[in-house]
Amino acid sequence: MALDPKFVGRAYGPFTYEIGREKLREFSLILGGSVPSAGTFGEPPEHVSPLLYSQEAAQAGPYGDVIAFPSFAVVFAIRPFSAAIADPELGVDRVRLVHGEQELEFLGVMRPGDVLTTTGSITELYRKAGMDFLVVTTETRNAKGEPVVRGVWTAVIRPA
Amino acid sequence: MARTFQVGDTFTHVRQCDRLRPVYYAGASGDYNPIHIDPEVGRQAGFNGVILQGLCTLGWAVEAVAVFVGDPGRVRRVKVRFSRPVLPEDTVTFQGRVTAIADGRLTTEVTATNQRGEPVLRGAVVETSLG
C-alpha cells in the first residue's frame, strides 16, 4: 500500500545533541579503519588526518581543536528520518526499507562541545516503479541558531 | 604547503570492510539496525549475513576526497545513491576525478566498486572548499 501523501510536511524534532570529544574521536578512527580493543578506539590508520583525533596536532592546525569528520553529522541529523520511519501513523514497513539516497551539506566545521539542534520534515512521498519513496529534509543549527548541516534523506520501500 | 588542483585530476582510495566493521561502525555511529549486526536478520533479508551501513560507505567516499584535498574540514557537500550493499570481507575501491573548480569550490565525482567490479555507489559527488 502506498504511503499517504497527506503526511508531506509532517515535522519531527527538535532533537538536541552535544558533541562529546571522545565520541567524535571514536567515530573518526572507527570510520577510518582502526581496530578497537577493550577500552581503546585502536591505533589511527595512516590516512586519517590528525586534525580528527590529536589535540596537539589540531591545536597547531587551522581549527585550533579537533574537528568532527564531516559524516559524523549522521549521528545526530538522522533523528527526524528515524522518527518518520518509526512513525506508526505513516506505516513504513521497515523490513522492506533500504536507504536509497543521501545528501549532506556542511556549512561549518563541528567541534567538541557544540550543542546542535536538528529539526526535519517529510518533504516528498511518491511511488515510482512499484516502490515507495520517503524523503525527509533536515536542518541542524548550533547554539547561536546558525545552520551547520542540512540533509536530504531518501528511503526506498520495496514491494512486498 | 600550497597545493594546486586541476580539472581532470584523479585519485584512488581503497578501503576494506573487515569482518566486524559493521559492528564497530554500529557502536561509533549508533546505527544498531539489526541488519548490520545480526547475521540471522541479514539472512532473512536475503544476504549471506550482515551488510555494512550505507552511511559508512558514504563516509569512505567523503574520506577519499578529504585525503585528496588534505583537510577533512573543507568538505562542504556530499550526495550519493546507494546501489548495492557492501558486505564483510569486501574491498571497495573509490576512484575520484575533479570535474569543476569554481567560486572557491572543488567538485569531484567519485565511483565506488567492490572487488567484483560492481558499483556500490552511484552518482557520488563531493564538494570541498579550496582554502
Domain ranges (residues) in chain B: 9-17+52-129
CATH number of residue A113's parent domain = 3.10.129.10
Choose among B15, B27, B55: nearest Cβ to A71: B55
A54 to chain B nearest CA, in Å? 14
Q: Same domain, yes or no, for A53 and A126?
A: no
Cβ-based neighbour number of residue A60 at 10 Å: 10
Q: Same domain, yes or no, for A85 and A115?
A: yes
Q: Last residue of some domain: A47, A66, A85?
A: A66
Q: B30: which chain A residues are within 8 Å (Cβ-Cβ)? A: 75
Please indicate if any CB of chain A lies within 8 Å of the CB of B84.
no
Q: Last residue of some domain: A46, A66, A86?
A: A66
What pTM does this model have? Answer: 0.96
Q: Same domain, yes or no, for A151 and A89?
A: yes
B-contacting residues in A 38-97 (Cβ below 8 Å)? 47, 49, 51-52, 62-63, 67, 69-71, 74-75, 78, 95
Which residues of chain B are under the pLDDT cut of 70?
A: 1-2
The pairs formed by A137-143 with CB atoms below 8 angstroms and a separation of 24 or more are A138/A77, A138/A79, A138/A80, A138/A81, A140/A73, A140/A76, A140/A77, A140/A116, A141/A116, A141/A117, A142/A108, A142/A114, A142/A115, A142/A116, A143/A114, A143/A115, A143/A116
Q: Same domain, yes or no, for A57 and A124?
A: no
Please indicate if any CB of chain A lies within 8 Å of the CB of B10.
no
Contact call for A102 and B78, based on CB within 8 A: yes
Buried b (16+ CB within 10 A) or exposed e, A81-106: bbbbbeeeebebeeeebbbbbbbbbb
Domains identified in chain A, total number = 2
Q: Last residue of some domain: A50, A66, A82?
A: A66
Range of A123's domain? Answer: 1-19+68-160
Residue B10's DSSP bridge partners are B97
Tell me the C-alpha to C-alpha distance, in Å, between residue B46 and each of B26, B35, B113, B116: 20, 10, 21, 19
Asked if the ipTM is above 0.90, the reply is yes
Q: Same domain, yes or no, for A122 and A76?
A: yes
Total count of residues recorded for chain A: 160
Residue B112's DSSP bridge partners are B94, B121
For residue A22, what are the contacts with CB-CB under 8 A and spacing of at least 6? none
The pLDDT assigned to B2 comes to: 57
Q: A23: which chain B residues are within 8 Å (Cβ-Cβ)? A: 28
Choose among A26, A35, A109: nearest Cβ to B73: A109
Please indicate if any CB of chain B lies within 8 Å of the CB of A157.
no
Whether A134 contacts A98, CB under 8 Å: no
Contact call for B79 and A36, based on CB within 8 A: no
Q: Same domain, yes or no, for A75 and A153?
A: yes
Class of domain B9-17+52-129: alpha beta
Contact call for B81 and A30, based on CB within 8 A: no
Question: Per-residue confidence of chain A (160 residues) as pLDDT tens digits?
Answer: 588 999 999 999 999 999 999 999 999 999 999 999 999 999 999 999 999 999 999 999 999 999 999 999 999 999 999 999 999 999 998 888 889 999 999 999 999 999 999 999 999 999 999 999 999 999 999 999 999 999 999 999 988 7
Q: Same domain, yes or no, for A143 and A157?
A: yes
Q: Same domain, yes or no, for A82 and A117?
A: yes
Residue pointed to by grid coordinates 594546486: B4
The pLDDT assigned to A136 comes to: 98
